């Protein structure tokens, strides 16, 4: 592994744009044009701000013709029906550029998960309606993924391999044989129905480049575990077969990508923007690197750190075809739309705005609450907030002081990867606990 580090680290992300060039596809799903915030029932605005999940049916003109509300989290006591009615009314006002197939507008469906809005200044509500980021994370998805990981960690080697084979077998069934392309090296085997052999090679280079960036970021402070068997990677051109794999093989839905500790990585490329596709690939590949080459076998990183670090890499800027770890230009991107470009919110902007709203509403998490959160709390009713502040906590712990990036943060990551509790690892690395860093953390978040 060490002998490969320097060679891999020099690989530019030259193929990233090609691997994710779906900004103006010949065929694409529905693209949001107008998304006014969802207003809660008048008697529930102050009491609850749940996340609503729904399946929207969209006709060939882009109008929402049916709204199936599939979940409210947390469920407002005594007001579930009222919130569902409010969600149906709100979603019915949304407008999309219709999905297209072979250049023709068609009816389609999409899955959404967003928070009800409590109201606020007209300017902030207008911004939210214009730049809302539709989440692909549905009820129970993340906790189901965590349960799947816990099962895999308890398996023996033979059982784990058989489990991986079953996932791969189902993935192969969903890849059309006439479109199937493969590229592999000693670290990955990429199977895709997107773009043929050249695209498969480009995807393989992207994965290696991401690994190289991670090795360079962590430097000599953490010696990665050597590569074992290849990670099998399935990249679907379309969202529908990817979701079918998640539902049939893993028991969860509504994700954009996943990494299984069994050694399978999968994602789809059907996104409105190039940036979103890049973010999903980087996020899931980071999970793979952490699990396979950083974390001691049998150890599980705290969820805020595992997800926060994957987000830290996933929403990083790309400059001159290279990852800039921690870069976070809070901007919009140009997305796919018939006739004109659409503004689409970047991951870093979305996370930043979520954290800012939490501060304004006096519900921001303390650093101690983040560091001490278990998976039940992390993936609970404030999952979006924990994701946003987990990302910010990682950003702070690496960039809060100049000397932290190259020595203190890698040491902290190494201790947690070896199985030490996060609070103990924090004190051993930074010399203080989360409570002593709280004031400095809040100043960092405010200035972010």
Digit-coded pLDDT (tens) for 370-383 = 999 888 788 777 77
317 Cβ partners below 8 Å, 6+ apart?
Answer: 323, 324, 327, 328, 329
Helices marked H in 174-302: 196-218, 239-245, 274-289
Most confident option among 38-42, 58-62, 115-119, 183-187: 183-187
**pLDDT at 23 exceeding the cut of 60:** no
**Strands annotated E in 275-393:** 317-319, 322-324, 332-335, 342-345
Closest by CA position to 183, among listed 167, 173, 194, 174: 194
Kindly report the CA angle at 143 between 141 and 146, in degrees rounded to 5?
A: 110
Contact 31, 272 (CB under 8 A): yes
Predicted local confidence at residue 63, as pLDDT: 87
Predicted local confidence at residue 253, as pLDDT: 56
pLDDT in tens, 109-138: 887 777 786 544 333 333 333 323 333 333
pLDDT in tens, 176-229: 999 999 999 999 999 999 989 999 999 999 999 899 889 888 876 788 888 778
Contact 286, 310 (CB under 8 A): yes
Contact 53, 104 (CB under 8 A): no
Categorize the per-residue pLDDT at 326 as very low, low, confident or very high, splitting at 50, 70 and 90.
confident
Predicted local confidence at residue 348, as pLDDT: 58
Terminal-residue alpha carbon distance, the chain: 36
Which residue has tokens 């290696």?
208
Q: Which pTM value belongs to this model? A: 0.69
Q: What is the mean pLDDT of residues 65-79?
A: 87
Which domains are seen in the chain, by residue range? 2-22+140-363 (3.40.30.160), 36-131 (3.30.2420)
């Amino acid at each position: 592994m060490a002998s490969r580090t320097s060679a891999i680290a020099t690989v530019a992300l030259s193929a990233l744009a090609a691997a994710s060039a779906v900004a103006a596809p010949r065929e694409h799903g529905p693209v949001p044009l107008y998304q006014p915030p969802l207003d809660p029932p008048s008697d529930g605005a102050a009491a609850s701000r749940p996340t609503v999940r729904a399946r929207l049916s969209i006709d060939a003109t882009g109008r929402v013709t049916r709204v199936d509300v599939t979940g409210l989290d947390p469920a407002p006591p005594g007001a579930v029906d009222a919130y569902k009615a409010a969600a149906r009314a709100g979603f019915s006002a949304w407008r999309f550029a219709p999905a297209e197939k072979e250049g023709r507008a068609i009816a389609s469906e999409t899955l959404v998960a967003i928070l009800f809005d409590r109201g606020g200044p007209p300017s902030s509500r207008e911004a939210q309606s214009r730049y809302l980021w539709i989440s692909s994370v549905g009820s129970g998805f993340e906790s189901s993924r965590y349960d799947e990981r816990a099962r895999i960690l308890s398996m023996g080697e033979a059982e784990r391999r058989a489990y991986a084979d079953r996932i791969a077998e189902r993935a192969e069934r969903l890849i059309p044989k006439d479109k199937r392309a493969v590229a592999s090296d000693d670290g990955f085997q990429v199977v895709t129905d997107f773009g043929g052999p050249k695209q498969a090679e480009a995807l393989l280079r992207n994965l290696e480049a991401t690994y190289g960036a991670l090795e360079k970021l962590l430097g000599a402070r953490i010696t990665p575990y050597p590569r074992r068997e290849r990670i099998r990677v399935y990249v679907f051109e379309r969202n529908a077969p990817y979701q079918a794999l998640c539902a049939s093989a893993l028991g969860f839905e509504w994700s954009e990508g996943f990494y299984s500790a069994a050694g399978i990585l999968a994602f789809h490329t059907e996104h409105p923007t190039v940036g979103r596709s890049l973010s999903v690939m980087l996020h899931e590949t980071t999970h793979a690197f952490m699990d396979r080459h950083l974390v001691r076998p049998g150890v599980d990183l705290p969820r805020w750190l595992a997800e926060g670090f994957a987000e830290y890499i996933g929403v990083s800027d790309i400059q001159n075809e290279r990852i800039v770890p921690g870069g976070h230009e809070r901007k919009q991107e140009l997305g796919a739309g018939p006739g004109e470009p659409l503004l689409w919110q970047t991951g870093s902007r979305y996370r930043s705005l979520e954290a800012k709203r939490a501060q304004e509403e006096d519900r921001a998490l303390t650093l101690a609450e983040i560091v001490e959160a278990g998976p039940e709390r992390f993936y609970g009713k404030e999952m979006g907030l924990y994701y946003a502040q987990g990302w910010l906590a990682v950003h702070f712990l690496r960039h809060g002081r100049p000397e932290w990036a190259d020595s203190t943060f890698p040491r902290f990551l190494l201790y947690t990867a070896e199985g030490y509790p996060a609070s103990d690892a924090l004190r051993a690395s930074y010399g203080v606990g989360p409570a002593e860093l709280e004031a400095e953390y809040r100043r960092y978040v405010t200035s972010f």
